[in-house]
Chains A and B, each alone.
Chain A
Amino acid sequence: MSTLVERTWATLAPLTDPEIPVVSLRELGILREVAETADGVEVVITPTYTGCPAMGQIEDDVKACLAQAGISARVVTRLAPAWTTDWMSDTAKEKLRAYGIAPPGATRPAESVVQFVRRRPPPDEVACPRCGSIHTVVSSQFGSTACKALYKCLDCQEPFDYFKPY
């Protein structure tokens, strides 16, 4: 296969989400594809939340990183299929936990809109990233960013972020 494509993946490997500096863009599922073109490479990224302020930064990071490596690249943003937390690798989830963020549970794609809305409080069993207890409660559906909810551990009292299934 093309060594340029491999070199591009390798060059982009250290890039992380600016909000979560322990997980790479590839592990998060933001970096989707790299393809060779007539004059360089085309890199496909997909946004997480539509209003996520980190997306502009991520696109700039990708461009700057490749420019520095002397790779001529075009960055394309693709919406479909919509990004989902299910694309996060197990390694990424473990890194999140170690970083103090409870990783997302699985989404429930078959669940209808109305079922989702009526499910209250959410039965997601969220383990405390500090002590592992599942004796936790939600403090707020929105934490430091839209993608996270704010939880509290009732055993060790630690407040923590939960990366919501999306």
Chain B
Amino acid sequence: MNAPVDYLLHLADNAVVLGQRNAEWCGHGPILEEDIALANVSLDHIGQARLLYQLAAARMGGGASEDSLAYFRDETAFRNYTLLELPHHGPLVGYAASDRDYAVTIVRNFFYGALMVLVWDALTRSADADLAAIAAKSLKEARYHLHHAADWVVRLGDGTDESHARAQAAVDHLFRYTEEFWLPSPAETEAVASGIGVDVVSLRAAWDALVDETLAEATLSRPAVRGYVPEGKLGRHSEHLGYLLGEMQGLARAHPGATW
């Protein structure tokens, strides 16, 4: 059984966009250990994306490759969650400038990590054997990613007044974007119907439990969710993805086929 290509691209785009975003900390981490940790987490994400793009390209045929999928698709073709493309800081007004806030980075990694351990775990039982093999590998890595992020959520939340305030602000800013997890896209619905994909709605209680437990330990509160549901996985993105892709794809597009 073959997964719908759009479903593979959703998983791959999530991984590559977060990998690219977190790699922005490389050389700028708040402490050396975290600089190295995030670079390693990014490498895992990019590795997962490569396996998924390779699989999608093989299924698509017609000269598609992991590079053509990562570097030569435009913004509206990307199927990642909006959460993952947001910059490392909260919303800004007008011409305001902001530094990266590590709390935003950590809370995002935590929300996504808590989802992906559940998704990869379920996908190890996918009817698509190739996808199940990628899921089995990715699960091993996602567990460490979540461990890392959850550790830091507690450290920041239950830390100083400053770190607590920034962690709470990050939770308040990002929580609404997790609503996108629970509204299945057509590709997800199709994949579930054929026994290939995971029914995300069925994971919600487990995700809530993981998140609530860690937030409680971190002395952080969970905000009430408003009605907004982002639609990044349908290709409708925030203004931030274009800039991220501009940086990620620029070299490949300026020098197509370049090797070194």
Query: Does B240 count as interface, using CB distance less than 8 angstroms?
Result: no
B166 to chain A, nearest CB (A): 21
Complex interface bits, A60-74 against B, C-beta within 8 A gives 1, otherwise 0? 000000000000000
Check B144 against A164 for contact (C-beta < 8 Å): yes
Q: Which of A113, A118, A146 contacts B118 (CB 8 A)?
A: A113
- Say yes or no for B237: interface residue by CB 8 A criterion: no
- Pair A146/B141 contact, Cβ less than 8 Å: yes
Contact A146–B33 (Cβ < 8 Å): no
Number of A-B contacts (CB under 8 A): 96
Sample of 17 A–B contacts (CB below 8 Å): A47-B137, A49-B43, A49-B44, A50-B51, A50-B137, A50-B138, A80-B133, A82-B137, A114-B210, A117-B117, A117-B210, A139-B33, A141-B144, A142-B37, A142-B148, A146-B41, A166-B140
For the complex, what is the distance from the CA of A117 to the CA of B217, rounded to whole Å? 13
User: How far in angstroms is the closest Cβ of chain A from B249?
Assistant: 19
Please measure, in the bound complex, the distance between the C-alpha atom of A147 and the C-alpha atom of B45, giving whole angstroms.
14
A114 touches B151 (CB 8 A): no
Q: How many A residues face the partner with a CB closer than 8 A?
A: 30
Chain A contacts to B: CB under 8 angstroms: 47, 49-53, 79-84, 113-114, 116-118, 120, 122, 139-146, 150, 164, 166
B156 close to chain A: CB less than 8 A: no
Q: Would you list the 6 A-B pairs with minimal beta carbon distance, nearest first?
A: A51-B47, A50-B47, A51-B43, A80-B133, A142-B37, A140-B33
- Tell me whether B117 and A142 are in contact (CB under 8 A): no
The reply to whether B40 and A145 form a contact with Cβ atoms under 8 Å apart is yes
Give CA–CA (A25, B140) in the complex, Å.
Answer: 21
Q: Which residue of B lies closest to A140 (CB)?
A: B33
Q: Mark B114-148, 1 if CB is under 8 A from A, else 0.
A: 10011001000000011011101111110110111
